[in-house]
Amino acid sequence: MIEIRFHGRGGQGAVTSAELLAIAAINEGRYAQAFPSFGPERRGAPVIAYCRISDRQIRIRANIYDPDLVLVLDGSILGIVDVAAGLKADGMLVANTHMSPKEIRSKLHIKQRVATVNATKIAMEVLGLPITNTTMLGSLIKATGVVDRESVIEPLRNRFGRIAEKNILAYQRAFDETDVA
């Protein structure tokens, strides 16, 4: 089983990202679950979402405390939330930042693998909004291969309708521009 923790801010699509990834895994014939962890937070407040993917039925329903993967949708969170808390020794952190993987490892004092992409820049150029959910999914898929690259396209089309093509373009650009080290 692969456990993924998503860190974002309210309104950036962390919950949507987790759901889209789970749908992609289910469409591949695997088991998946996605769920948020937030209370009465307002737009812009830090939020967490979770996703589990497995080849077998998933029976656990608890939050994810020791993730295999951590996805950070907003680089400003890197300075205020311990996003690497519990990250497994062989895990990976995927972050929306202008910094390199080496700089993030140094900043967070971690040894795990890191992937980075400037998802905010891509989202602004392609979508016209700093909503990084689909963009960061492209980075996550490039860095980890947790699902097939093409498996995310149908869930994006179903979720975003008339603006799906822009989201797919942002997804593909992040896939291409992600730096993994």
At residue 40, the pLDDT reads 59
Whole-number Å distance between alpha carbons of 142 and 68: 15
Domain that holds residue 110: 2-180
CA 160 to mean position of chain CA atoms: 17
Mean pLDDT of 38-59: 85
pLDDT in tens, 121-156: 999 999 999 999 999 999 999 999 999 999 999 999
Q: How many CA atoms lie within 13 A of 39 on its CB side?
A: 0
Q: Mark out the alpha helices in 30-132 (DSSP H runs).
A: 101-108, 119-126
What's the CATH number where 120 sits?
3.40.920.10
Give 42's Cβ-side CA count (13 Å radius).
Answer: 0
How many domains is the chain partitioned into structurally?
Answer: 1
Q: Contact, 10 vs 41, CB < 8 A?
A: yes
State if pTM tops 0.75.
yes
CA distance 21 to 152: 7
